[in-house]
């Protein structure tokens, strides 16, 4: 039998067509939904043409992914749920007046997602969306999601400056961290979900591109400094589509400040050692934080490393090989479809086979709970062969749009 890789995409996007959310709403919201839907003008070009059906057409999606060598995926939202001005992934947290309808819309999406995942049992790990304004609602929805097969975990909204809810280090969110640990529901924080409004000035799009991942990274240090991982040692936290090359430098910086905090605590107890400006500024935090941030990274964090570029691959051991999970970002333009096989060759040709196996599927199966043996059966027919991925890519696809094939993408063997 030809040896093949079992490829699990840790980053996919799906959602219902606008009117198809109606059956998933509670009946009391139907009249308001009808009025809202009749007036809504969709601002997203990719949700207006025929290819938009890739978000909700189960058969087409499976065919596309199998053609690309992918057998399973973690699913984040992509379309507009009821009563939202935009796709929920990037929407700001609602005001108190907006909360009821927005929450009804997200619950409708979660119920649609559960049905969509059931059409490909074991191959779709759907994520559950929550809002941060009511922890009772959020905790109940996480329990519902686990009971109804959304084993992709929870999509955590961001808390950009000026948001209507407390920052993620607040102890207000303790019930959410607790239920996610209890039910082994990974917390996912996807790029684009934590950026503030930046206006419509000519430079705003460039600024957004520069800052989108940084704002998403903030969840890393917010939860560490808030003590979430000290209190919940089994909590899994996944940072998705935020690149990977930033991790070693950020961990070094966080560890530096952690050492300063520890020095402050030691000095307060009469131990020798200089008290720095940083340690004075952060007095009282060391005990709440516990371990060094790099230790929490090793224990609690994972990386949805969408469309890894060749220049990120040499950092895989500094990041932690067991942390990396490749993703295609289907059906986004920046995703690798229909050139995922070429993307894998471009980034991973020449790596040890066991390392490729881990990044392409083994790690995701462990983090999210995919049945790897069942997926291996599918991959035996559609997965890329080991020999195929071993062959370095000699020419980039000319019509590919993924950053992994960008002008600064270097074809090399590691």
Q: Which domain holds residue 163?
A: 7-405
Q: Is residue 145 part of a domain?
A: yes
* Number of domains composing the chain: 1
Q: Is residue 2 part of a domain?
A: no
Reply yes or no on whether the pLDDT at 297 is more than 50. yes
Average pLDDT, the chain: 92
Reply yes or no on whether the pLDDT at 215 is more than 80. yes
Q: What is the pLDDT of residue 414?
A: 31
Distance (Å) of CA 236 to CA 124, 219, 279, 330: 19, 13, 29, 24
> Does residue 167 sit in helix, strand or coil?
coil
Give the span between the Cα atoms of 96 and 165, in whole angstroms: 10
Element (H, E) at 109: helix 99-118
The domain spanning residue 20 has which CATH number? 3.20.20.140
Give the span between the Cα atoms of 349 and 5, in whole angstroms: 13
Token pair 């019930």 is at which residue?
175
Q: Name the band, by pLDDT with cuts 50, 70 and 90, for residue 381.
A: very high
Give the span between the Cα atoms of 181 and 184, in whole angstroms: 5
Q: Is residue 414 part of a domain?
A: no
Give Cα 403 distance to the centre of its chain: 18
Whether this prediction's pTM lies above 0.85 is answered by yes
As a residue count, the chain comes to 414
Q: Is residue 371 part of a domain?
A: yes
Over the stretch 77-96, which tens digit does the pLDDT of each residue have?
A: 999 999 999 999 989 999 99
Reply yes or no on whether the pLDDT at 118 is more than 90. yes
Return the closest-CA partner of residue 213 out of 244, 171, 176.
244
Over the stretch 328-358, which tens digit does the pLDDT of each residue have?
A: 999 999 999 999 999 999 999 999 999 999 9
Query: Would you tell me the crossing angle of helices 174-182 and 135-147 to the nearest 10 degrees?
Result: 10
Over the stretch 236-245, which tens digit does the pLDDT of each residue have?
A: 999 999 999 9
Q: Is residue 190 part of a domain?
A: yes
Please indicate whether residue 198 or residue 104 has the higher confidence score (pLDDT). 104
Give Cα 357 distance to the centre of its chain: 20
Over the stretch 157-172, which tens digit does the pLDDT of each residue have?
A: 999 988 999 999 999 9
Q: Is residue 272 part of a domain?
A: yes
CA end-to-end span of the chain: 27
Report whether 180 contacts 142 (CB < 8 A): yes
Over the stretch 236-289, which tens digit does the pLDDT of each residue have?
A: 999 999 999 999 999 999 999 888 876 655 554 445 555 566 556 555 677 788
Other CB atoms within 10 A of residue 63 CB: 11
* 357 contact partners, CB below 8 Å, separation of at least 6: 5, 6
Over the stretch 13-36, which tens digit does the pLDDT of each residue have?
A: 999 999 999 999 999 999 999 999
Q: Is residue 109 part of a domain?
A: yes
Q: What is the pLDDT of residue 94?
A: 94
Is the C-alpha dihedral spanning 343, 347, 353, 355 positive or negative? Answer: negative
> Does residue 322 sit in helix, strand or coil?
helix
Over the stretch 382-392, which tens digit does the pLDDT of each residue have?
A: 999 999 999 99
* 32 contact partners, CB below 8 Å, separation of at least 6: 83, 101
Share of the chain above pLDDT 70, in %: 92
Q: Name the band, by pLDDT with cuts 50, 70 and 90, for residue 208.
A: confident
Region 291-319: mean pLDDT is: 96
> Does residue 305 sit in helix, strand or coil?
strand
Give the span between the Cα atoms of 180 and 280, in whole angstroms: 34
Share of the chain above pLDDT 90, in %: 80
Report whether 17 contacts 395 (CB < 8 A): no
Q: Name the band, by pLDDT with cuts 50, 70 and 90, for residue 410.
A: very low
Give the span between the Cα atoms of 14 and 54, in whole angstroms: 8
Burial of 117 (0-12, 13-18, 19+ CB in 10 A): buried
Q: What is the pLDDT of residue 261?
A: 76
Burial of 176 (0-12, 13-18, 19+ CB in 10 A): buried
Q: Is residue 116 part of a domain?
A: yes
């Amino acid at each position: 039998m030809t040896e093949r890789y079992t490829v699990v995409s840790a980053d996919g996007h799906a959602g219902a067509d606008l009117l198809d959310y109606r059956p998933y709403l509670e009946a009391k919201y139907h009249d308001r939904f009808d009025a809202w839907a009749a007036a809504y003008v969709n601002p997203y070009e990719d949700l207006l043409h025929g290819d938009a059906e890739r978000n909700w057409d189960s058969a087409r999606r499976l065919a596309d992914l199998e053609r690309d060598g992918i057998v399973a995926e973690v699913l984040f939202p992509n379309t507009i749920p009821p009563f939202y001005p935009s796709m929920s992934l990037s929407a700001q947290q609602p005001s108190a007046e907006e909360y009821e309808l927005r929450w009804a819309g997200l619950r409708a999406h979660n119920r649609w997602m559960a049905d969509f995942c059931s059409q490909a049992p074991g191959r779709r790990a759907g994520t559950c969306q929550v809002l941060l304004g009511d922890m009772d609602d959020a905790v109940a929805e996480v329990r519902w999601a686990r009971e109804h097969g959304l084993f992709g975990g929870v999509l955590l909204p961001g808390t950009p400056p000026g948001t209507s809810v407390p920052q993620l280090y607040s102890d207000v969110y303790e019930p959410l961290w607790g239920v996610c640990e209890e039910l082994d529901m990974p917390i996912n924080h996807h790029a684009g979900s934590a950026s503030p409004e930046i206006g419509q000035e000519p430079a705003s799009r460039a600024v957004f591109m520069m800052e989108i991942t940084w704002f998403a990274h903030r969840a890393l240090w917010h939860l560490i400094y808030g003590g979430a991982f000290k209190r919940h040692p089994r909590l899994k936290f996944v940072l998705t589509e935020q690149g990977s090359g930033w991790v070693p430098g950020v961990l070094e910086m966080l560890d530096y400040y952690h050492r300063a905090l520890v020095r402050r605590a030691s000095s307060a107890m009469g131990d020798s050692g200089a008290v720095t400006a940083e340690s004075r500024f952060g007095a009282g935090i060391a005990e709440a934080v516990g371990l060094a941030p790099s230790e929490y990274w090793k224990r609690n964090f994972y990386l949805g490393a969408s469309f890894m570029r060749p220049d990120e691959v040499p950092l895989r051991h500094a990041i932690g090989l067991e942390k990396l999970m490749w993703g295609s970002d289907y059906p986004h333009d920046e995703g690798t479809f229909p050139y995922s096989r070429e993307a894998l060759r471009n980034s991973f040709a020449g790596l040890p086979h066991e390392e490729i196996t881990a990044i392409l599927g083994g790690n995701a199966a462990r983090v999210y709970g995919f049945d790897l043996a069942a997926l291996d059966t599918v991959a035996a027919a559609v997965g890329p062969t080991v020999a195929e991925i071993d062959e370095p890519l000699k020419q980039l696809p000319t019509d590919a749009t993924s950053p992994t094939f960008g002008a600064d993408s270097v074809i090399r063997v590691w």
